[in-house]
Structure 1
């Protein structure tokens, strides 16, 4: 019998703050929250940002500072100075009389002296170099960045300060933080999980789409020669796109089970999620940690997307608001999905979830935040350009709706579902994705399908973007508020919306009004993915129906301890930023820690054992 993958923990960080306990989502809709709930999210952000409050209450000035220094905004100097981005200017120089000469230290001469150089020893370790025909040089300088807005992490938050980060790339620092937050949100000790399942029944499905491109990763590796520096021994290894998963396995979980990092451009989180839920449904694993950490707010990455014309530049944003006579862009409204727009806004994000199979969730008393029965992936077919859209996303959205209809029935699809759009804020996306969603709504008889587009608040975090969508959907069920597309003041004329509900205002929902979320991602290169996510209420009904009242009642009693422990973590995190989970050189196993026989393998750090296969589905194929 197939197992249901249940979300039992979630966490991370993006421009809205800490993801666990829905604080990040609540930042998006903080203007619609009751005062007590809003105050707790302010406290969560204050702890993350290092803001102290003397008498235990935040002042109005502090609250405004928190609002101003989260979500999409102008890139702040603490990240990098958009007015002085490092640059090398190429110059051709020659001497006034035709000969160029200069003095330098002998040890600074190149290993191979160019043919047109004449070198004269001046003594004292110095030489004179004469160049007959001049030369080209690279002059270190700086320039203004044409793109000044981004979904950067909350001001004052440094993920590397949460553990001994030892020159780790920013994306890996964010991965350690995100995975730690997700694990602690469960309210169940990780050791308890390890003691319950076999070592090979745990899987880590985590990666990044862009790899680690700052100076501590591939950025340093590829730039060292041009800058006259030596490559670090860590640059290549830590730059790999699979490193977020490798770090979580090695330093957070001590995982010896499955590792399956997957890449699919902007759909990368869903690619990882698809592998995880398929392994849980098949029984290959019982526990899956799924995530993506992406640190894209980096000048070189922004150069790449900016040169493609994909990012919203300052000049183009000013054109959008020409009638307002603005002298500088409205950075806050840089991302305007399904409205008049000019490009996406890049962002940083690290999002992780923990999945159990349904039986394990009940056995350990885990909280149920939702479930994911299906993720569908389809490519585009033959393409006109690698960045152009194709037909694959029509397939994934229709499959996701059809699979959910098979579980919930037609009425739930038509009246109790919403969609989280990819919603990048590019002119091409607003046309193509709106047509896909609108046609799917027509096909399934949805008259006005509520649409969320959270990139309006968070920006586009590339590989982590679909993780942002999943975490936001859990927030919708917790708050009963679907965040409006707050940065828009109209729907563009070329948007297809006859069967879509697109609006700037938040949509207030009745309790348990939504059974289903369809999450959609259109990745660069034709990496399309759509997920069907079931609400906590529906997920619990399914678990009760499968396992019976007696098992369910016993589960509820065990769950109280997990809830209490998880809430204690949240309280501590709202009071002051806790250290991330990081076990370096801890309980390292070697050959002496492995005991094997023909039936099983025992590892010294685990109570349970790895069972060796004894049967195969292909055995009968050899029979005559």
Structure 2
């Protein structure tokens, strides 16, 4: 019988706050929460934002948290949107027969002195330079950014302050935090997990679509020469896209199993998830940590997307609201999926889950938050241009819907499934994706398919975006509410919606009202992926049928302890007392620590051994 890839832990951080225990999801629907849930959500945000709370959280503090989370104007402590630094190239010519002269430190002189320069040494290691003819120089200056909204992490949150982040790019800092949060949320210590698996039965698939482009990564390497700075030994390796997985292996888990990342532009999270699901299904791995981390709220990166016409500029946002008397763009409503819109809003996020095969989860008493049964990936085929829509996403959505039907039946697909759309908030996406979803709904007999689009709240985190969708899905299983597309007040006239149900208000469906969700991602270049996620109440039925009543009774007893440990971690995190896992120079092994024989390899810390006597699947071909 097939292994079921069940979700036993999840965590991370985005503009809504910490993801584990549904805190980030509850920020999205905070206006629909009861008082106790809202208080807990604000308490979690306060710890993330490093706010000093004495007693009850005041109304002003709550408003501050609301104002400084989700999509908003980029805050000055990150970079000043009105003073984006740049260099202006200036060409000048000395007037008549005169010379242009300046004095500078001798160390500032170029290695090769231009032929029209005359250099005279002065006291105190300075020099006078006289220039005849033409002179060219770069003048530091600033400009105002055309795009000033982003989905930023909550104000005050600094992942690098939580562990010894030695020149780590922000994306890697977020990866350490996100993976740690997911692993600690399990309530099953990682050391216990390792005692139940072999070293090669652990996989880690993590990375980013863009790599690390800030000053501590490839941005520092590529900009050093032009900013008169030195390239460090860390710039190049730290910028690599798979470095998130490397950090998680080396400093969080100590894993030596399968590793790497799959890059598919904005579908990258689902690409990694697909490999994780396949590892579990085939038995290659029994536990997989999978996710992505992206930190693209950088003026240079935003310039690139703005040049493509992909981002919602301030000017275009004002034009959308013409007649409302606004003098400044409505930054909170920068992302308006499936309404009249003008581009996406870039965001930073780090989202991770822990997948286990169902037998291991039952054996350990791990809490099951859902299951990912299938992830489908298809390219677009021949295209007119790399950025134009194609047919691949029709294939992935059709396969995902068919997989729900095959597992749960027609009634569940038609009446108890919903869609997490990619929903980028671009004019092209609202037409192309709505047509895909609408046509698939028609084909499968779905009269009104509920559609969520959480980028309205947290923005577009590029390679992590499906991770943001997954965290919201797990929240819906827990609280029974599908977040509304709160930033819109109408559906655009060119959106196809005869068989779709868009809502700006939250939709109450009940904790067991939805059996399945489909996550959809569309990546630049024709990278399409759709995932089928099954609700925990369905997964528990599957586990009971597979493992039997006696085993499940024992499982639920073990699970009580797991829940208690998980709750203890959450309490510490809400108090600001939980730190990321970061084990630098910890239990570093060499060949002396590993036991080798011709049939197995034994590694300290793991109960199981790596089996070298596995039969070849091709052996029969030589008989």
Which TM-score tier does this pair reach, normalised by the shorter chain?
over 0.9
Contact 1:220/1:231 (<8 A) preserved: yes
The answer to whether 1:339 aligns with 2:339 is: yes
**How far 1:306 moved relative to its partner?**
0.8
- How far apart in 1 are the matches of 2:369 and 2:553? 18
Secondary structure (helix, strand or coil) at the match of 1:196 reads coil
Contact 1:88/1:141 (<8 A) preserved: yes
Aligned to 1:251: 251
Alignment of 1:137-536 (within 5 A): 137-536=137-536
- How far apart in 1 are the matches of 2:20 and 2:126? 61
Aligned to 2:89: 90
Alignment of 1:555-574 (within 5 A): 555-574=555-574
Aligned to 1:108: 108
Secondary structure (helix, strand or coil) at the match of 2:12 reads strand
Secondary structure (helix, strand or coil) at the match of 2:513 reads coil
- How far apart in 2 are the matches of 1:451 and 1:614? 46
In 2 relative to 1, CA 124–560 (structure 1 residues): closer, same or farther, beyond 3 Å?
Answer: closer
Q: Unaligned regions of 5+ residues in structure 1, if any?
A: none
Contact 2:478/2:511 (<8 A) preserved: no
Secondary structure (helix, strand or coil) at the match of 2:533 reads strand
The answer to whether 1:75 aligns with 2:43 is: no
Secondary structure (helix, strand or coil) at the match of 2:266 reads helix
In 2 relative to 1, CA 511–593 (structure 1 residues): closer, same or farther, beyond 3 Å?
Answer: closer
**How far 1:97 moved relative to its partner?**
3.1
Secondary structure (helix, strand or coil) at the match of 2:607 reads coil
Secondary structure (helix, strand or coil) at the match of 2:450 reads strand
- How far apart in 2 are the matches of 1:114 and 1:621? 72
**How far 1:129 moved relative to its partner?**
2.2
The answer to whether 1:596 aligns with 2:596 is: yes
**How far 1:23 moved relative to its partner?**
0.5
Secondary structure (helix, strand or coil) at the match of 1:265 reads coil
**How far 1:399 moved relative to its partner?**
0.3
In 2 relative to 1, CA 481–124 (structure 1 residues): closer, same or farther, beyond 3 Å?
Answer: closer
Q: Which runs of 4+ in 1 moved over 6 A?
A: none
- 1:165-213 deviation line (CA, Å, top 9, x unaligned): 1110000000000011101110000000011100100000100001000
**How far 1:153 moved relative to its partner?**
0.3
In 2 relative to 1, CA 605–360 (structure 1 residues): closer, same or farther, beyond 3 Å?
Answer: closer
**How far 1:124 moved relative to its partner?**
4.6
Secondary structure (helix, strand or coil) at the match of 1:432 reads helix
Secondary structure (helix, strand or coil) at the match of 1:465 reads helix
- How far apart in 2 are the matches of 1:576 and 1:152? 20
- How far apart in 2 are the matches of 1:2 and 1:80? 50
- 1:57-106 deviation line (CA, Å, top 9, x unaligned): 10111111110110001111111111111111111122233432222233
Aligned to 1:11: 11
- How far apart in 2 are the matches of 1:368 and 1:506? 25
Secondary structure (helix, strand or coil) at the match of 2:301 reads helix
**How far 1:54 moved relative to its partner?**
1.1
**How far 1:127 moved relative to its partner?**
2.7
**How far 1:622 moved relative to its partner?**
1.9
- How far apart in 2 are the matches of 1:78 and 1:104? 32
Secondary structure (helix, strand or coil) at the match of 2:195 reads helix
**How far 1:108 moved relative to its partner?**
2.2
**How far 1:610 moved relative to its partner?**
1.2
Superposed CA RMSD in Å reads 1.0
Secondary structure (helix, strand or coil) at the match of 2:267 reads helix
Secondary structure (helix, strand or coil) at the match of 2:496 reads coil
- How far apart in 1 are the matches of 2:121 and 2:457? 62
Contact 2:195/2:605 (<8 A) preserved: no
**How far 1:109 moved relative to its partner?**
1.7
- How far apart in 2 are the matches of 1:104 and 1:572? 55
Secondary structure (helix, strand or coil) at the match of 1:129 reads strand
**How far 1:571 moved relative to its partner?**
1.1
Aligned to 2:121: 121
- How far apart in 2 are the matches of 1:107 and 1:205? 47
- 1:529-553 deviation line (CA, Å, top 9, x unaligned): 0000000101111111111111111
Contact 1:100/1:134 (<8 A) preserved: no
**How far 1:123 moved relative to its partner?**
5.0
- How far apart in 1 are the matches of 2:396 and 2:60? 46
In 2 relative to 1, CA 148–589 (structure 1 residues): closer, same or farther, beyond 3 Å?
Answer: same
**How far 1:577 moved relative to its partner?**
4.6
Secondary structure (helix, strand or coil) at the match of 1:226 reads helix
- How far apart in 2 are the matches of 1:178 and 1:586? 20
Q: Unaligned regions of 5+ residues in structure 2, if any?
A: none
Contact 1:199/1:257 (<8 A) preserved: yes
Q: Normalization by structure 1: what TM-score?
A: 0.98
- How far apart in 1 are the matches of 2:122 and 2:37? 74
In 2 relative to 1, CA 53–103 (structure 1 residues): closer, same or farther, beyond 3 Å?
Answer: closer
Q: Please say which of residues 140-149 and 434-443 is displaced more in the overlay.
A: 140-149
Contact 1:484/1:505 (<8 A) preserved: yes
- How far apart in 1 are the matches of 2:72 and 2:482? 22
**How far 1:224 moved relative to its partner?**
0.2
Aligned pairs, number: 622
Aligned to 1:136: 136
- How far apart in 1 are the matches of 2:139 and 2:590? 51
**How far 1:113 moved relative to its partner?**
1.8
- How far apart in 2 are the matches of 1:156 and 1:490? 34
Contact 1:95/1:101 (<8 A) preserved: no
Secondary structure (helix, strand or coil) at the match of 1:288 reads strand
Contact 1:48/1:577 (<8 A) preserved: no
